[in-house]
Structure formats: C-alpha cells, structure tokens
Homo-oligomer: A and B are copies of this chain.
Amino acid sequence: MLGQDADDFCRPGLSAAPLGEDRAGELARVFKALGDPVRLRLLSLIASRQGGEVCVCELTPAFEVSQPTISHHLKLLRQAGLIDGERRGTWVYYRVLPEALEGLAAVLRPRAAEAEA
C-alpha cells in the first residue's frame, strides 16, 4: 500500500507542504500500525533478521501474548504494507518491505534534511 511503486519515493515529506486529507489518511493508517509496542518489536525482529525472513513459529514464543494476538498483529503490519508473508509447507515466513520503511522515513525527514538527499 505504501512503498510498492515508484510514486511513493517521489512524494514530498510532511515538511514540504501541508498534507492533503487523503494522503494524511493513508499515512495515518501506516503510522497507526507502528503505534503498538508488540508490533514494533515484531517488525524489528523481522527487519533485523539476517536472511530477511522469520518463521512465525519463532515469533510467537518471543512474546508474552497469545498466538492469536501475534497473528492479529502480523495481519495489521501486513495490511499496512510494512511486511509480507508467505506460506511454505506448514510454516509461514514474514519479511519486511524495505521500500515501505524507506518511504516512511522520507515522509518524516524534516525540510533541512531533505536537501541533503
């Protein structure tokens, strides 16, 4: 949803011009997905993993919440366009979509920092 085509890289950040309502709505959905400690840790676990993929079977026991809750959070991260999952046999593997992270970082970067890029 975000960072999946080249357009997202060309959009100006927050500080370039006031966000329109539609764009604000899109971005809010993604930031909302980041606004939970469990989801942030899930994303970080996946993003920091050498090889780029993590099995859900490794994620679930890393938290003190139930398996359905982890599944729910993974779904929200996926719907926000931050991660993607693939089933291989019995297991499901998730990976981050780095373009999405990069795109969000670009949105946040303040005006001064925009010139350097």
**Chain A residues packing against B (C-beta within 8 Å):** 14-19, 21, 24-25, 27-29, 31-41, 43-45, 47-48, 96, 98, 101-102, 104-106, 108-113
Query: Which residue of B is nearest A34, CB measured?
Result: B31
A37 adjacent to B15 (CB under 8 Å)? no
A16 to B19, CA, bound (A): 30
Contact of A110 among B33, B38, B102 (CB under 8 A): B102
B101 adjacent to A15 (CB under 8 Å)? yes
Name the B residues within 8 Å of A19 (CB-CB): 40-41, 44
A25 adjacent to B47 (CB under 8 Å)? no
A98 to B24, CA, bound (A): 19
Contact of A35 among B14, B15, B17, B34 (CB under 8 A): B34
